[in-house]
Structure 1
Amino acid sequence: MGLINKIKPGRIIVLGFLLVILLGTMLLMLPISINDGASVSLIDALFTSTSAVCVTGLIAIDTADTFTVFGRTVVAMLIQIGGLGVTSVGVGFILLMRKKVGIKERTLIKESMNLDSLKGLVKLVKSVLLLTLIFESIGVILSYIVFSKDYSPLDALGISMFHSIAAFNNSGFDILGNLQNLIPYQSNILLNLTTCGLIIFGGLGFLVIKEIIEKRSFKKFSLHTKVVLITTGILLVVGTVVLKFTEDITWLGAFFFSTSARTAGFSTYPLSNFTNAGLFILTILMFIGASPGSTGGGIKTTTIFTLYKSIYSTSTNRHCVAFKRRIPSNVILKAFNITLLALFVVCMGTFILSILEPTYTFMQLLFEVTSAFGTVGLSTGITPNLSDLSKVIISLIMFIGRLGPMTIATIWYFKEPSNAYYSEEAVIIG
């Protein structure tokens, strides 16, 4: 326990995710997890476990065709833990055992949710768990109405529970079999809208949802909530319109992909039929992703909003302001750092896969890597055919995408910054 107290919170979070991934890998390789006649290699089990914990949805093997009910339950539990966060789940267990949540646990929650204060963290975790239960329960009921028409009551209930967990946690896993995802239900309005609703609320972030419920007025919302809502709405609308005019799909399909591309990964149309223009739009949406403190990945909506505001203010020689509030310079700097680190990960990953997988096009590989980084799960269909080394690379990118490139970069930080400063000298830029 003394050793754990000496480890920095960021490293504990990383280690926690790693341990859950390894545990999930071992459980998925047990005979009780695998269907008769199916086989699972170590790499595929690791890939599946990483994809589930990182709430991605990329699959090297079909979940329904390969795993038993026990195996699918393991995958669902990994998705739930990954979506809520290892620390939130851990604190949830502490609360269930009616034990006191210490400073170390509170600090871990603060770090994992990118919060500024230790105030009210236990209450926040309780709200997170309650909101998750409510949204997922509603998702189960609405999904059951659809799936009960095609499956037996017990199977429909199992599929509905799995789908609701996957959708709210922005993970594109499905258990319908044959790698078909939700394509058979591309015209089902109820399932499409239910899935989109779960994805959107899961991607807003628990703080935003809590504030919407408590304040119920846009004017009373914090700057963070206003930015998240406005940016999410713009991305949904623009994505829907552009996808409708670049692809031969319905308006419902365009809206579904515009929603799903921002870190969920469900498909209602085969992406192998999409044009490069459509795939590029989806790539941009995947890279941006969901919002901070949510179950989704990407660089986040607040980051892209801050970048836009910073560039606009610089171009017009004005202060960086949004909704009559000035955005701090350290926030702007962090937004640029996160974006540059994310671009580096995506570019480097695409470059490495271009060497390892020369038979695939650049667009296919860029799409796959961005999907992994954004913890989306959309794929043009190349994932199962990747080499073992490529799957390991994709797994690493999923891990970086879930925890965030800034978190991964700062775990190597050992010393406190010095109070001594060098004198300044300008550098010519541009």
Structure 2
Amino acid sequence: MIYRFRRFIRDLTPPRLLSLGFLAVILIGSVLLAMPVSWNPGQHVHFLDALFVSCSAVCVTGLTTVPPGDTFNLFGRTVLGVLIQIGGLGVAALSVMITLIMGRKIGLKARQVLSTAMNFTGVGGLINFLKILLRFTLIYEVTGAILCFFVFVRDYPPLEAAGYALFHSVSAFNNAGFDIFGGYDSLLHYAHNVPLNLITMALVIIGGFGFFAMWDMGHCKFRWKKYTLNTKIVIVMTVLLLVLGTALLYWTTDQTLLEASFQSVIARTAGFNTHPLSNFTEAALLIFTVLMFIGANPGGTGGGIKTTTFFAVAMKAVSSTMNGDRDEVFYRKIPNVVFTQALTVFFYGLTVITIGTILILAFEGDLSLSAVLVEVTSAFATVGSTVGITPGLCPASKIVLMICMFIGRLGPLTIATVLAFKGKSEAHFTEESIMIG
């Protein structure tokens, strides 16, 4: 039996093994959260809700059907925090880290899975990069927790404030958006607390910035000319989306500049809230939805189709309408395969959101299109922002959102690879053009 299981695992492709790893963690987390040992006195959590919360935590989304602070005790919150950390770093990264701690060697299969999970080219230097990543994560989460402690200690006893600070730091850095303050208010009570807003924004930006880009910036000693093309695009897109998002949200809502800036950061893809989305105008909801869909940078803890994907699609659209059709930026030419991958991710992302929105609208006849579109996009982009409809959804709608979260966390290309069954064929058909536009 053990031999068959090992053979089954050995024969799995890295994307399928990675998917099974995430599913296993989600199921284990749901069992733990569904046990009375995780609940506050007087609370009861149905298994579907436990499964939903576990899926949301591992997929670092933040959508929840029960208020975590009111529902779960210290043990349950610890389980939730661990699931968020596993989801942020990735199941493959965590398993490799445990193997390293135990002093064992990392096999080729584990390196391939880790490369798939982190979108790392090749396997050389991967373990050293992982060690740097773990140190980097620990430093920023501990620093964030210490800074948050001085904010929360004003409202809670020191030991309780330390727990809130650590959970909030882990949740923010991993772009999860979970909070344990009680209710569904998120950070509404701290909307005008400048230090906590700035700390949270910094953790979200750093976590979603992309570990490869951060490493490249440090390795090149912050000299622009030496950055890779990926890092340059990441920096430009991050600044552009943050500034543009802040300006548009400030213009289309009654938010303060601090609130608009916070929401612009959170849309990429953390899910905290200092201004209720239910109070947003339709224009602001559309802007927020677009920001969620684009998401964070590749190689980070955020979701969405990623900034580089959107950049590649936009660049190809612009360059194809200009003379020469030259796909060049920052004195570099982008390979055609990159545009093919970008368009594939873009298409599958839109497809998942469209199908998810249609299904939930069919299941929930009394909900508006804008509310459902925000919810589904938030799930797919692993944001966690909501207009408040999640707890009241029917079981079928909750399952749809869980599927969207799972696909969004692993990535449309990974899921497509998992489901693909390629057959060998030497036949090629005659090429023929079609009319476009």
Bucket of the pairwise TM-score, normalised by the shorter protein: over 0.9
| Aligned-residue offset at 1:420 | 5.1
Which AA in structure 2 matches 1:374? A
Distance 1:210 1:288 in 2: 22
Please list, as runs of the form range in 1=range in 2, the aligned pairs for 1:67-146 lying within 5 A after superposition: 67-146=72-151
Looking at structure 2, the residues matched to 340 and 127 of structure 1 have their Cα atoms a distance apart, in angstroms, of 34
The equivalent position to 1:323 in structure 2, one of 322, 330, 335, is 330
Q: Which amino acid aligns with 2:360?
A: L
Pair 1:263 & 2:269 matched: yes
Cα drift, residue 375 of structure 1: 0.2
Measured in 2, the distance between the counterparts of 1:122 and 1:423 equals 46
Residue 251 of structure 1 corresponds to 257
CA distance in 2, matches of 1:73, 1:417: 48
Match of residue 3 from structure 2: none
Helix, strand or coil at the partner of 1:336 = helix
1:277 aligns with 2:286: no
- Residue 401 (structure 2) aligns with: 394
| In the alignment, structure 1 residue 424 sits paired with structure 2 residue 428 | no
Deviation sequence 1:312-341 (CA, Å, 0-9, x none): 110113311111111111110111111111
The match for 1:411 among 384, 393, 418 is 418
Q: Where do 5+ consecutive residues of structure 2 fail to align?
A: 1-5
What is the rounded CA distance, in whole Å, between the counterparts of 2:420 and 2:327 in structure 1? 30
SS in 1 for 2:321: helix
Give the drift of 1:7: 0.5
Q: Is the 8 A contact 2:120 2:126 kept in 1?
A: no
Q: Percent identity?
A: 48
Q: Following TM superposition, by how much is the alpha carbon of 1:245 offset from its aligned partner in structure 2, in angstroms?
A: 0.8
Which residue, 281, 289, 292 being the options, matches 1:286? 292
1:118 CA displacement: 1.0
1:361 aligns with 2:345: no
TM-score (norm 2): 0.97
Residues of 2 paired with 1:242 and 1:307: CA distance? 22
Q: Please say if 1:383 is aligned against 2:374.
A: no
Letter in 1 for 2:267: A
In the alignment, the residues of structure 2 paired with residue 259 and residue 226 of structure 1 have an alpha-carbon distance, to the nearest angstrom, of 19
Q: Which residue of 2 aligns with 1:338?
A: 345
Q: Which amino acid aligns with 1:99?
A: R
User: How far off is 1:421 after superposition?
Assistant: 3.5
Deviations, residues 357-381 of structure 1 (Å, cap 9, x unaligned): 1111110000000000000000001
Shift of 1:418: 4.4
Partner secondary structure for residue 419 of structure 2: coil
Shift of 1:428: 2.6
SS in 2 for 1:411: helix
Root-mean-square deviation over aligned CA pairs: 1.1
1:136-163, CA deviations, whole angstroms, 9 ceiling, x for partnerless residues? 0111011111001100111100000000
Aligned ranges 1:18-33 → 2 under 5 Å: 18-33=23-38
Work out whether 1:349 is the aligned partner of 2:352. Answer: no
Structure-2 separation of matches of 1:414 and 1:389: 28
Letter in 2 for 1:243: L
Question: Equivalent residue of 1:178, what SS?
Answer: coil
In the alignment, does 2:226 pair up with 1:225? Answer: no
2:246 matched residue in structure 1: 240
Aligned partners of 2:318, 2:278: CA distance in 1, in Å?
Answer: 37
Offset, 1:417: 5.5
Distance 2:343 2:375 in 1: 24
Kindly state the Cα deviation for residue 117 of structure 1 after the two structures are TM-superposed: 1.2
- Distance in 2, matches of 1:231 and 1:425, equals 37
For the residues of structure 1 that align with 2:311 and 2:225, how far apart are their CA atoms? 19
| Cα distance between partner residues in 1 of 2:426 and 2:133 | 39
What letter matches 1:376 in structure 2? V
Q: 2:383, 2:207 → 1: CA distance?
A: 13
Structure 1's consecutive aligned runs of 4 or more residues displaced over 4 angstroms after TM superposition are 416-420
Q: Deviations over 1:391-413 (max 9, x none)?
A: 11111111111111111111122
Q: Is the 8 A contact 2:177 2:384 kept in 1?
A: yes
Residue 169 of structure 2 corresponds to residue 201 of structure 1? no
Distance in structure 2 (CA, Å) of the matches to 1:132 and 1:77:
14
| Matched AA of 1:331 | V
Match of 2:44 among 39, 44, 56: 39
Aligned to 1:180: 185
- Give the match for residue 11 of structure 1: 16
**Counterpart Cα distance in 2 of 1:197 and 1:95:** 30
1-structure distance, mates of 2:434, 2:370 = 36
Equivalent in the alignment of 1:297: 303
Using the TM superposition, name which of 76-85 and 412-421 deviates more.
412-421
- Superposition deviation, residue 4 in structure 1: 1.1
Deviations 1:2-22 (A, max 9, x none): 221110000000000000000
